[in-house]
Structure 1
Amino acid sequence: MAGDSRWSDLERPALDGAALTDALTHDSRLWRSVEVVPEIGSTNAELAARAAGEDGAPEGTVLVAEHQVSGRGRLDRVWTSPPRAGITVSFLLRPDVPAARRGWLPLLTGVALAESVKAGTGVLPSLKWPNDLLAADGRKLAGILAESTGTAVVVGVGLNVSTTTAELPETGTSLARVLGSTVDRAPVLLAFLRAVERRYLRWVEVLGDPISSGLAQEYLAWSSTVGTEVSVTMPDGSTLEGTAQAVDWDGRLVLATGHGTVELASGDVRHVRRV
């Protein structure tokens, strides 16, 4: 049927799951399968359920949704996108690293996403700790959510690709909006997953060490948080203000306040904004 054709909507063509699988997995040391579904509640929730199942989904399982109807960001914030307007992908990892080092996984994912967006589209983004990809004007291009389930970690990414101004929240933007032209999602998705693989394998080989893997230096190069004055809203509603000095060994934000230095894990904060 015409409605099912990849080219039925030239502005938002469907992804070809078989082609993605062939392109990604044939020479990969990490990726095992790529499944593209037309609609799902949450790709993260689905992969987490598979990871916890009797057989346990293997590391390297990738799930892509053309339309996610119950997407979540951090703190269960809703993440929505029109059908085929963005890249909505989750992948399953089983990192053999100390548990505390898992805090680097969303940061690693952010570096890979920033690199692939820049290389594939020319858009120069930045990373807002811990999980947002921003355009040059500070509007949000993408969000990242990493969730642990047993020995597995499911990492989900939602990237706005062709989303229009009318479809976006005031604080959001998309690649097409920044560029003023159409963007093909498939090359961006493939480049992103390959970049994740390169960094992840190197990071695991050194037991999650962010220094010897080069990850810490790469993250700082993309960061728009470290080195700035920020205001941090805590879960109890209180606010911390200070200078974001660094990201520590376990991926925590090091904040210098008037009352001393504080290390903040992503689960400890509700919002970080530049002052």
Structure 2
Amino acid sequence: MTPRDVSGDNSRWSDLDRPPLNAAALRRALVREGGLWSGVEVVQSTGSTNSDLVALAGEGKATEGAVLVAEEQSAGRGRLDRQWTAPARSGLFFSVLLTPSEVPVARWGWLPLLTGVAVATGLSRAAGVDTALKWPNDLLVTVGGAERKTGGILAERAGDDGVVVGVGINVTLREDELPVPQAGSLALAGAVSTDRDPLLRGVLRSLEQWYEKWRSVEGDPARSGLQETYAAGCATLGRVVRAELPGERSLVGEAVAIDGDGRLVIATEDGVQAPVGAGDIVHLRPA
């Protein structure tokens, strides 16, 4: 069952520091003729916006550019099926449906990285916070001189021709609300604004711009400028890292590049440059 749109429910004003999103205003600002975004729905609570949008796409009830936002997620998921939880209205939790038919499927793996660039760019403009990217899909901010994760991205296939990309961003979480000590929020990083409406508009406009640029060149990461821009904002490059790989294997070395397939290239002590396409990356220390 589709979650009910409750954007006009004033009972949600239970925390004046965390007002509800204005779905009608978001639609007016984002949905336009010839634009990417075809609809914006805000629901009070759901398990996972990614799961909901994948299901809607499978039922033919969502088209490209559909945006589903939840004020609260009870079963939000990150990579490797990790749980993502946060208090109601404390962050931005949303998913979008993309169908890049002009792009070869082999290049669809760039979509999470593209989303990371778009989110970092949008937050820099709208929140005044310098956001770095940890390969492949974490958003980092600096709190008290330390890197902390403030967001994540999860992409999932939706049928044969679609991808649902989900984004979670901690906006107003206080120190005592953080799920783990390594987590952060835009507020803790000194954001000039934590008003979620303009933050979401900024992020989605940035995502639209980057997606259209990437799609117009058939997903070529070099011609679109995506590969260079991602590398410039990636906090993983130049660091000594440990890659936790499938099969309980690990690889330690310096992260030296992002290759044309979006993989992280790690130079090991024995001189081998190994591309990593999937795995958990641990930043060990600056190079």
TM bracket, shorter-chain basis: over 0.9
Q: Which moved more, 1:38-47 or 1:219-228?
A: 219-228
Query: What residue number does 2:3 align with?
Result: none
Q: CA deviation at 1:52?
A: 1.2
Residue 216 (structure 1) shift: 1.1
1:255 aligns to what?
A: 266
166, 169, 176: which one aligns with 1:159: 169
Question: What's the secondary structure of 1:218's corresponding residue?
Answer: helix
Distance 2:90 2:155 in 1: 22
**Percent same amino acid among aligned pairs?**
49
Q: Which moved more, 1:228-237 or 1:199-208?
A: 228-237
Query: Taking structure 1 as reference, are residues 184 and 227 closer, same or farther at Cα in structure 2, changes over 3 Å only?
Result: same
Give CA deviations for 1:170-190 in whole Å, capped at 9, x if unaligned. 110111112177610010100
How much has 1:8 moved relative to structure 2? 4.7
Q: Among 105, 117, 130, which residue is 2:123 paired with? A: 117
From 223, 229, 232, the counterpart of 2:240: 229
Amino acid at match of 2:231: L
- CA distance in 1 between counterparts of 2:191 and 2:212 reads 35
Deviation at 1:270, TM superposition (A): 2.7
1:1-275 alignment, distance < 5 Å: 4=10, 8-27=14-33, 29-53=35-59, 55=60, 57-96=62-101, 97-136=103-142, 137-149=146-158, 150-168=160-178, 169-179=180-190, 183-259=194-270, 260-265=272-277, 268-275=278-285
SS of match in other structure, 2:188? helix
Give the conservation status (yes or no) of the 8 Å contact 2:127–2:192.
no
Across the aligned residues of Structure 1 and Structure 2, the Cα RMSD in angstroms comes to 1.8
Structure 1 contact 225–274 (Cα < 8 Å) conserved: no
* CA shift in 2, pair 1:179/1:27, >3 Å: farther
Instruction: Give the aligned residue type for 2:235.
Output: S
**106-115 or 6-15, larger mean C-alpha shift:** 6-15
Does the residue aligned with 2:243 lie in a helix, a strand or coil?
strand
Partner SS state of residue 156, structure 1: strand
Distance in structure 2 (CA, Å) of the matches to 1:180 and 1:148:
33
Q: Find the residue that maps to 2:96 and give its secondary structure.
A: strand
| Superposed displacement of residue 236, structure 1 | 2.4
**Which secondary structure state, in structure 2, belongs to the residue aligned with residue 175 of structure 1?**
coil
Contact 1:6 1:15 in 2 (8 A): no
Deviation at 1:272, TM superposition (A): 3.2
CA distance in 2, matches of 1:4, 1:181: 26
Q: Which has the higher helix share?
A: 1
Deviations 1:180-227 (A, max 9, x none): 776100101000000000010110111100111111111112110112
Question: Per the alignment, in what secondary structure is the counterpart of residue 172 of structure 2?
Answer: coil
Unaligned runs of 5+ in 2: 1-7
Residue 101 of structure 1 deviates from its aligned partner by: 0.9
CA distance in 2, matches of 1:160, 1:107: 19
Residues 73-110 of structure 1: CA deviation (Å, up to 9, x unaligned): 00000000110000001000011211121111111111
In the alignment, residue 247 of structure 1 is paired with which amino acid?
I
> Which SS does the other structure have where 1:104 is aligned?
helix
Tell me how far 1:62 sits from its aligned partner. 0.2
User: Judging changes above 3 Å, is the alpha-carbon distance between structure 1 residues 163 and 181 closer, same or farther for their aligned structure 2 residues?
Assistant: farther
The DSSP-based 3-state class of the residue aligned with 1:189 is helix
The answer (yes or no) to whether the contact 1:11–1:182 under 8 Å persists in 2 is no
Shift of 1:5: 5.2
Compared CA separation, residues 205 and 222, structure 1 to 2 (3 A): same
Residue by residue over 1:116-143, the C-alpha shift from the partner in whole angstroms, topping out at 9 and shown as x without a partner, is: 1111121111000000010122100101
**Using the alignment, how far apart are the partners of 1:27 and 1:234 within structure 2?**
44
Alpha-carbon distance, 1:255 to partner: 1.4
